[in-house]
Chains A and B, each alone.
Chain A
Amino acid sequence: MNFTFHRKRIAGVLVVVPENERSFSEDMKNFNFPEARSLKLKEVMGYDKRRVVEPGVCVSDLAVFGLEHLLGEGLLKRDEIDALLLVTQTPDHFMPATSSLIQGRLGLKQDMLCLDINLACAGFVIGLMQAFMLLEQESVNKVVLINADVLSRKASPKDRNIYPLIGDGAAITIIERDDEDSVIHASVKTDGSRAGALIIPAGGLRLPSSPETAHLEEVGDNNLRAKDHVFMDGSAIFNFVQTEVPPLIENLLARAGVTSEEVDYFLCHQPNRFMLEKLADKMKVPYARMPNNVVEHFGNNGSVTIPTVMAYNLRERLQREQLQVCLAAYGGGLAWSAMLLKLGKLAFNNIIEYK
């Protein structure tokens, strides 16, 4: 499905990562797995360091920390926030929405909209789209989009397929109207028939958490996982990305009348280095124009990876100038999305540590 937006812009990006860093080599010592193969995994997939929260830290804690930083530095004013959108798969509670909890903790004005959006790795692009749509309203001048997850808390420490690569974090993106006559193109697709490829089977009302769902089961290759934990069919996700994402981007660029060479950067969701290199190969894009280094420094932090790519690789450049970028975000749902926009002259584009 295609979307077009006019006169909207990203004004600033702040990424919050937990101070607590874990190392892949250390984590792999807990698994019954040959060291040589661990090294190969590290080399090929780019697994190395990652940031995870301490026990008990929730999404609202990361979000409030980041917003207090922006308010304290004078980069955002309390009363100018007209809408607060939170994209997360790991809310503080079933009820109420975590965005309301964030608003309450910060003492923001009542005259505003708070909304939780349940999306995984595709959530940065779709969150931006929601923000652009809200900005069509005269009463809405500034939208705060928060992408945040603490998925490490739902990953089995005994599951080598997911535990050593998950990162936690939050990104705060400020979206506002653009004085220039800018056009943003976006495209989104969903296939719920493949929802089982990325799922936390228990803990909702379909299968409530119980002693049985907390029981670790042997799931092959010496891995143990409970139904309360996140499951990812890595090879199915790999095939999904290689098959669906290149045509989505090609069609988006064709519709916008922009060639691949005219795109300064392809800022994609970061599952691992291997998948991004294969995606770049397939799309015939040089690796330098599709950065793939988030996982090795921070882990895969879900819908926070794209803001992390921006802040880690293009921090100063995006504050100084404007670049033509294509975003691509894909994951649980399954959902996949892409967006072509002019990004830059950001008021801020930083990474801070949650302590």
Chain B
Amino acid sequence: MDKQEFYQRLAEILDVEEVKPENVLKDFDGWDSLAILSLLAMADAKYGVSVKAEEIRAVVTAEDLARLIEAKRK
């Protein structure tokens, strides 16, 4: 999985210019139920994995999120 591309997609969902791996997801204003739903859709459409909302809520940083989706692909 192309990490840079993933962070770019995440930035679009959160309505920000850029997301860095160490950024804490909860610190973004746009981190809400709509963002989580958009992430589920992105994980399904772009990476072919089904992620649960609880799993997404449990991760802390953007990098954790990338790892979660990467692990599901294997």
Q: Tell me the A residues contacting B by CB distance below 8 Å.
A: 34, 37, 40-41, 44-45, 161, 221, 233-236, 238-239, 242-243, 274, 278, 281-282
Contacts and interface: CB of A to CB of B under 8 A. Distances in A.
B18 interface: no
B40 A238 contact: yes
Given A278-B41, A281-B45, A235 B32 contact: no
A44 B15 CA distance: 13
Given A34-B29, A236-B53, A239-B50, A274 B37 contact: yes
Contacts of B44: 239, 242, 278, 282
A238 B44 CA distance: 11
A161 B41 contact: no
A242 B34 CA distance: 17
Contacts of B33: 161, 221, 234-235
A41 B34 contact: yes
Contacts of B40: 235, 238-239
19 contacts: A37-B32, A37-B34, A40-B15, A41-B34, A44-B34, A221-B32, A233-B53, A234-B37, A235-B36, A235-B37, A235-B52, A235-B53, A236-B53, A238-B37, A238-B40, A239-B40, A239-B44, A239-B52, A282-B45
Nearest to B51: A239
Interface residues of B, number: 17
A243 B50 CA distance: 8
A45 B37 CA distance: 10
A40 B34 CA distance: 9
Given A233-B53, A239-B51, A282-B44, 7 more contacts: A37-B32, A235-B33, A235-B52, A236-B53, A238-B40, A278-B44, A281-B45
B18 to A, nearest CB: 19
B38 interface: yes
A89 B48 CA distance: 34
A41 B51 CA distance: 21
A278 B50 contact: no
